[in-house]
Structure 1
Amino acid sequence: MHAHHSLLATIADRLLVRRAALVDAQMTQLRTFRSYNRVPDDDLLRSCERNVARVVATLEQRDSLPPGIEEDERDSGRRRALQAIPADDVVKAYRAVLRVLRDAFIEEASAVSADPWDVLAGTRKLWELTDRYSDVLVAARQQADIDSARREEQHRMALVQRLVSGAIEPGEILPGGAVHTVLPDREYWVVRAHADTADLPQLSHHLESAGPAARTLIAPFDNDVVAITAARPTACDSAVIAVGGPVRLTEIPQAFAEATRVLRVALRYHREGVVDSSSLSVRLAVEQHRELGEQLHRRYVDPVLTQPGAHEILTTIRTYFRTRRSIADTAAALSVHQNTVRYRLSRFETLVSASTADTDTLVEVWWALEHDSIRGDVDGSPSHVAF
């Protein structure tokens, strides 16, 4: 065992004598990887010097490296990530330079007429060294990628916040320039989307894949997702996607305020899919003018609520409006006789002392019922109209 250790130490000494040549041979191997052209020579030289020291320490069965070689494979792996060297190239390059040193070990072992079993033992140690530190390099690279992704996400979130709040300085938005992935000379949709927490990753992916030509800046925002995208988004299952625009970058704050308002109203009306101010129409005004809604509620809904069959009457009125005031379609939708529909309409008009044939009354009743449908979300009162 002592003789074996002494022989490997002798070979290690012979490798140290060849250190300069072994560093050059490693550099030649590394430069065969095109991606390594962006790595400075002094950076690679440090790594090559460390590799020789690591092999020598392994053969001498030492755990520590000589003084002056302070960095390790973790530092190197993180640095290669920052230099944008592909992970596959990092591992292939490391194995290539360790193969240079392994071949040099075999040459020196042959020069001293080492026993084949000693050569095999030393070769096995160097294989284990290669595998162990390849894993270290990969782990360091993965951690660096994770850290980079986190920084990118934080930057993206901060940028979205600045864009939607109008905090981007005019000088940052120049013709022909770009803010992150968005261009100042294009129009963009501003999106605020909502889904259950578990579905937010799917929603984010859906918005990111809006189209191959789309430039999209996306980030979480409160409990929602905000996106600035060149393509109008499409519907996503179990999500409401409110859009404003399209607008230039300088108008994003106004479009975001519109998308926020649209999303709030769409959620109260239990809408899904892609919604904008035109699809919600006058319902935006219903949500905004709550005092008027309460006045009309007292005028056209409260008198009915004190009567038997109030729910059936109010549901019939709403269905009547939804079916374009068709008695037949209303009856079919509610699975009742047409005369039942006529009776309920007549009963409603008697209770509120107004006729739905009058245009002003028609509009006011519709407004009162729309307000009633979101009233529970507004002030905690129960809603009485079935959807």
Structure 2
Amino acid sequence: MSSNRKSLTREQIFDELMSGLNSVDPLESALLRATNICRGAGLVVNELGEVIRSVGTAPTHLISQWVQDEIFADADRPRWDEPKSGAIGRWHVYAQTVRLRSRNHVIVVAVHADAFVEREDDAAVSLILDVLTKLLRAFEGFESFSISNRREESVRVLRDLEAGVSPGREPAIWRLLESFGFVAYEPIRAVRVRLDIADSVSARPTLPPGGGLVIRESEYGASAIEQTVVCSGDFDIESRLDAPGLLDVGVSGLFTALSQVPEMLQTANVALGSVRGTKFAFVDRMRPIEWAAARMSLRFDRRLVAAFLNPIVTKPEASTTLRTYVESGGSIAEVAARLHVHENTVRYRIRQIENVLDARLTDPRTAAEIVLALQCLDTSELA
């Protein structure tokens, strides 16, 4: 068995493993080819000790623990990433650290004692592992270079869109967007994203080919980073953008004219400022009263409208009664039940509120003013 391994030169091993990179999953394909050559098993273990790829019948949990103890435990030492070998039961294991997608991983090749019949096998398997890790490093370098280029191109495209695209330039910009997975003249959305600066790396969306997404970081604050995004209309924003470091997302309605991007980004900004109790605010899901309050972006605007209720909100009992009345849709019985008072008590308080406002709460215009003022008050308190 070993003679078959020894008969292969470095060039032959390189050619065999290289052909495995041209696949949907190049990591697993190359690992499979490497283990076929040495008639063993293979694993890829990440920094958390998780086996993310496994080929063959080796004891994955024991090997994973060995990797944690023998390799990642020494990660702070100068030569921790050098090749390592050892034995787990009747398995001879060989490991090498390699960086994949900006994270450290360990590639492990394991050969069972029954197939390990000559001392020269040690050098043969080490050679296979060496070629495999070097190939993966090179592949990672090309992939990282490609991702970097896509990010730069994404920033350039977005800057053009934010500056405003004339109708005559739209066909050329659409051709650029098609390389990011967009379909020309199909609906798109403009998005504003806020990330926690302490955890922004984990929340940053990637730019996979065909993703229907262009993105750039547009503003840095003391505690948050803001991103500007344009995505295809069918891009799953809530699942694809959600991540631990994500704070808020404001999403415009659907549109098709690229010349509208600056305007639609403004609407996304309004939605971003209205996020309450959830990470995402979609313009086309907002109620008119929410939109009207959110559009009042200046503190003066909100205070001016909220002043309508100042005589009420300064009195806790009246304020609670009015809010509960609005939330209950004007039902006296529901207000009484929620506040644990008699219905006549609610009616008395409502009459007092009406006297102060010099208006009937059953008047639709008064009701609209009250709801808008309450919305603005809430916005002012959270701003």
The alignment's TM-score, normalised by the length of structure 1, stands at 0.55
Which residue in 2 is equivalent to 1:103? none
What aligned pairs does 1:84-103 form with structure 2 within 5 A after superposition? 86=26
Q: Distance in 1 between matches of 2:152 and 2:176?
A: 25
Cα separation, 1, equivalents of 2:369 and 2:379: 16
What is the 5 A alignment of 1:322-361?
A: 322-361=327-366
Does the alignment pair 1:230 with 2:201?
no
Distance 2:176 2:144 in 1: 32
Q: What's 2:252 paired with?
A: 244
Larger Rg: 1
Candidates 212, 216, 221, aligned match of 2:212: 216
1:235/1:274 contact within 8 Å kept: no
Q: CA deviation at 1:217?
A: 0.4
CA gap 1:165/1:329 in 2 versus in 1, 3 angstroms = farther
Q: Mark the runs of 5 or more structure 2 residues left unpaired by the alignment.
A: 1-7, 39-117, 220-224
Letter of the 2:212 counterpart: T
Relative distance call for 1:331 and 1:282 in structure 2 (3 A) is same
Distance 1:362 1:92 in 2: 69
Q: 1:167 to 1:319 in 2, by over 3 A?
A: same
> Is 1:288 matched with 2:286?
no
Residue 312, structure 1, aligned to residue 281, structure 2: no
Q: Structure 1 CA distance, aligned partners of 2:28 and 2:178?
A: 32
Q: Deviations over 1:199-245 (max 9, x none)?
A: 8678766x999xxxx95205364434534123164656896543223
Q: CA deviation at 1:187?
A: 1.4
**Any idea what SS the aligned residue of 1:324 has?**
coil
Q: Indicate conservation of the 8 Å contact 1:203/1:239, yes or no.
A: no
The aligned residue for residue 71 of structure 1 is none
2:192–2:269 Cα contact (<8 Å) kept: yes
2:191 alignment counterpart: 191
Q: Does the CA contact (< 8 Å) of 2:190 and 2:251 recur in 1?
A: yes
Secondary structure in 2 aligned to 1:246?
coil
Q: Name the CA shift for 1:365/1:164 in 2 (closer, same or farther; >3 Å).
A: same
The structure carrying a bigger strand percent of its residues is 2
Alignment coverage as a number of residue pairs: 280
**Residue 143 (structure 1) shift:** 3.9
Query: What is the root-mean-square deviation in Å for CA atoms of aligned residues?
Result: 4.8
Residue 146 of structure 1 is matched in structure 2 by 144
For residues 165-193 of structure 1, the C-alpha deviation after alignment (integer angstroms, 9 at most, x for no partner) is 43694352368982522122211233334
User: Once the 2 structures are TM-superposed, how far is the Cα of residue 280 of structure 1 from its aligned partner?
Assistant: 3.6
Matched residue SS, 1:282: helix
Structure 2 Cα separation of the partners of residues 155 and 224 of structure 1: 19
Indicate if the aligned counterparts of 1:175 and 1:185 stay in contact, CA closer than 8 A: no
Unpaired runs of at least 5, structure 1:
1-21, 37-79, 99-119, 379-387
Q: Determine the C-alpha separation between the residues in 1 that align with 2:134 and 2:147.
A: 20
Q: Tell me: CA distance 1:121–1:297, structure 2 relative to 1, closer, same or farther (3 Å).
A: closer
Residue correspondence of structure 1 range 254-293 to structure 2 within 5 A: 254-264=263-273, 266-267=274-275, 269-270=276-277, 272-277=279-284, 279-289=286-296, 291=300, 293=302
Q: Work out whether residues 176 and 184 of structure 1, in 8 Å CA contact, stay in contact via their aligned partners in 2.
A: no
Query: What letter matches 1:341 in structure 2?
Result: V
Q: Percent of counterpart pairs with the same letter?
A: 19
Matched, 1:156 2:163: no
Structure with greater helix share of residues? 1
Matches within 5 A, 1:16-165: 30=15, 35=19, 86=26, 125=123, 128-165=126-163
CA displacement 1:332-368 (0-9 Å, x = unmatched): 3334332332232222223333332344433333332
Give the Cα separation in 2 of the matches to 1:160 and 1:270.
29
Contact 1:35 1:86 (8 Å CA) reproduced? no
What secondary structure sits across from 2:186 in the alignment? coil
Residue 313 of structure 1 deviates from its aligned partner by 1.2
